[in-house]
Structure 1
Amino acid sequence: MSTAIVFPGMGPQVFADVGKFLLINPVAREMAGQASDTVGYNVIDRYRVSESDYSEAAQVAFLVTCLALARWAEENLGMAARFCAGPSFGGKAAATYSGSLTFRDAVWLTAKLSEYETRFFTEDLPGIVTHSFARTPRESLKEILAELDDWHEISCHIDHDFYMVSLREERLDWLQRRIRAAGGLPLYTMDPPMHSSTFAPLRDRVETDLFGELEFADPVIPVVADQDGSVRKTGDGVRTMLLDGFVRAVQWPEVVDTLLGLDVQTVYVSGQDSLFGRVPCTTRNFDVTPVDLRLAMRPPRPTR
């Protein structure tokens, strides 16, 4: 039986919790300092005053938190992962943990990608969001999308009844009403959006301007790609996985199938997560340990 580590996609975080961890945990504090040196500002201070859940500083802080929690799990839980995965935003943390990308390069890339994404979705393709929803099986979703007489694209398949769809913001209210009418549960709207073939110009731009500055080594720990569940064992494979994240949908059930085929029984989810480590297709197939802030900040048990 094998063990895998999963770095989750990014969602809203509570600064008080994250900031406390970054200041108190020795590894996290050191990594936050390195990240601040890399981007040229104090990440914690900038994150504290951020107005967006997905601001540049928030994204860097999430990356640092995920990787510091993984180190904590190694030291305190004896985690020894043989495979790793990182759906959506978690791909950068997976690339780093696997040994394919250095930590400083990952921080630099995270900050630069935030800058490029903000510009692209403000100037080139404004008014697009990605909406997540549950309790909506595929057949129901097909019926709903068939009625949506405007551009849209499925961006994430998380479980048999859990999806994310990218669409124009002006059609979001209609989609939410239609999902509720079908018995579904609208959840969270992400802005900037993610994972659509329409974003190919952004993929091309960051490949030319940013990825050319980076060196991707062959990973020490194989990475399972979130777009198709393929196992990436080369630096070029990891690089392509990150770039394809702009234009290809996340297919989490395929990642689960691959991990099962690799004889994975235990999965550690390193980072604040409300999706990938909690959906039934994950919990019914693996022994899942959430490595989150609550666990890492828990006072140690007294010894006799």
Structure 2
Amino acid sequence: MMTTDQARSAVVFPGMGPSRFTDVGKFMMIDPFVRKRLAAADDALGRSVLDEFRTAGTDFGAFAQVAFFINSVALADRAVETQGLAPDVCVGFSFGQKAATAFSGALPFAEAVRLTHELALCEQRFFEEEHQDLVTLTITRVPAAALAEVLGELAERGEFHEVSGHLDEGMHMVTMREQVLEPFQRRISAIGGYSLYSMKPPAHCRVLTGLRARVEEEVLAEFDVADPELPLVADHDGALITRADQLRTLLLDTFDHPVRWHPVVDTLRGMDVRTVYVTGPDRLIHRLDVTTRAFDVVALGPEQALRPARPASRKEQ
């Protein structure tokens, strides 16, 4: 699918934020692209995803994850059908790797549904036993030097902490004990920063090597991942993924490697990607300065899909 005589495009599947039926339920019930994917997902799991999602009591539960995955893939379907999306490369950022695995052809959609569900259940079992006291906080407006100072203060007190991601200039993800979350947030505010949201269970840190090992043994071993038909870009170092073994490693790396968006942007720019389609319920990637400076960004989430007009690109906003 690579081209040399015209600018290239990429599709980006975003990471997962809190996912609630009240936010996306109407979209899922009426959008024809979602309805088609829902029918296939229901067959794959032997139950109604929409019903399970509607009655779920958690924003990150198994069926909230499956619903987020379905919406992301369906929105990419919509972009292909209505906007002529024919990407040269794709990116799965954090949770978005699951949608990228399906869209790239490395797993049939039904198998990717089952993988998403089984991964969620495996994580749930793991965190019922391990690291129940950890959370991952996303912060912004915090320069690297200021972050180093605050993390140094945690280190002086012997507090566990890890950087779980670098998203943009001044935007980071930090994992810590839940008991120090509020004082850490106050400290971030004192230096002019802002706390966006926290996630529990935590994500993307070296302390989760046990989860990585469990997923590899109990879940991923049951799935026959193929070479992707569309190359992927790794969300932690920008490496180009073209083989099944590389993709399997990437799916495991997400547990114990911090995510970093700048290397992804660098790789896409090196491939002469000019337009990025962010397909999924995204609150972050399409708004990052590093993204909008580098590309013409087309955001296609549930809100944009429900509008009668074509989603506006960055240049039109």
The alignment's TM-score, normalised by the length of structure 2, stands at 0.92
Distance in 1 between residues matched to 2:45 and 2:258, nearest whole Å: 29
- Which one of 172, 183, 189 corresponds to residue 174 of structure 1? 183
**Within 5 A, what are the aligned runs for 1:34-73?**
34-73=40-79
**Alignment-derived partner of residue 242 in structure 1:** 251
**Alignment-derived partner of residue 232 in structure 2:** 223
Distance in 2 between residues matched to 1:167 and 1:37, nearest whole Å: 39
Contact 2:136 2:198 in 1 (8 A): yes
Distance in 2 between residues matched to 1:211 and 1:14, nearest whole Å: 27
Q: Secondary structure at the match of 2:287?
A: coil
Q: Secondary structure at the match of 2:135?
A: strand
Which residue identity lines up with residue 115 of structure 2 in the other structure? L
1:232 paired to 2:241: yes
- Give per-residue Cα distances to partners, 1:28-86, cap 9 Å, x unaligned: 11211221222232111111122211011110000000000000001111111101001
- Which one of 189, 192, 215 corresponds to residue 206 of structure 1? 215
Contact 1:121 1:128 in 2 (8 A): no
1:15 paired to 2:21: yes
Q: Secondary structure at the match of 2:166?
A: strand
**Alignment-derived partner of residue 4 in structure 2:** none
1:146 paired to 2:149: no
Which residue identity lines up with residue 50 of structure 1 in the other structure? A
Distance in 2 between residues matched to 1:209 and 1:15, nearest whole Å: 29
**Alignment-derived partner of residue 187 in structure 1:** 196
The range that moved more, 285-294 or 29-38, is 29-38
Runs of 4+ in 1 over 3 A off after TM superposition: none
- Which one of 21, 27, 39 corresponds to residue 33 of structure 1? 39
**Within 5 A, what are the aligned runs for 1:24-173?**
24-148=30-154, 149=157, 150-173=159-182
> Which ranges of structure 1 fall in alignment gaps of 5 or more residues?
none
The range that moved more, 8-17 or 146-155, is 8-17
Distance in 2 between residues matched to 1:13 and 1:300, nearest whole Å: 25
Contact 2:20 2:59 in 1 (8 A): no
**Alignment-derived partner of residue 2 in structure 1:** 8
- Give per-residue Cα distances to partners, 1:215-247, cap 9 Å, x unaligned: 111111100000100000011111110100000
Contact 1:196 1:246 in 2 (8 A): yes
Which residue identity lines up with residue 44 of structure 2 in the other structure? T
Q: CA deviation at 1:205?
A: 0.8
Which residue identity lines up with residue 130 of structure 1 in the other structure? T
**Alignment-derived partner of residue 314 in structure 2:** none
Distance in 1 between residues matched to 2:229 and 2:279, nearest whole Å: 18
Which residue identity lines up with residue 22 of structure 2 in the other structure? A
Contact 1:121 1:127 in 2 (8 A): no
Which residue identity lines up with residue 12 of structure 1 in the other structure? P
Q: Secondary structure at the match of 2:139?
A: strand
Contact 1:226 1:252 in 2 (8 A): yes
Q: CA deviation at 1:20?
A: 1.9
Q: CA deviation at 1:261?
A: 0.4
Distance in 1 between residues matched to 2:85 and 2:75, nearest whole Å: 11
Which residue identity lines up with residue 274 of structure 2 in the other structure? Q
Q: Secondary structure at the match of 1:143?
A: helix
Q: Secondary structure at the match of 2:165?
A: strand
Which residue identity lines up with residue 172 of structure 1 in the other structure? L
Q: CA deviation at 1:14?
A: 4.4
Q: CA deviation at 1:94?
A: 0.8
**Alignment-derived partner of residue 282 in structure 1:** 291
The alignment's TM-score, normalised by the length of structure 1, stands at 0.96
Distance in 2 between residues matched to 1:18 and 1:177, nearest whole Å: 32
Which residue identity lines up with residue 51 of structure 1 in the other structure? G
**Alignment CA distance shift 1:204-1:14 (3 Å):** closer
Q: CA deviation at 1:125?
A: 1.9
Which residue identity lines up with residue 72 of structure 2 in the other structure? C
Distance in 1 between residues matched to 2:217 and 2:267, nearest whole Å: 31
Q: CA deviation at 1:274?
A: 1.3
Which residue identity lines up with residue 11 of structure 2 in the other structure? I
The Cα RMSD (Å) is 1.2
For these two proteins, the number of residue pairs brought into alignment is 301
Distance in 1 between residues matched to 2:130 and 2:275, nearest whole Å: 43
**Alignment CA distance shift 1:16-1:290 (3 Å):** same
**Within 5 A, what are the aligned runs for 1:289-304?**
289-299=298-308
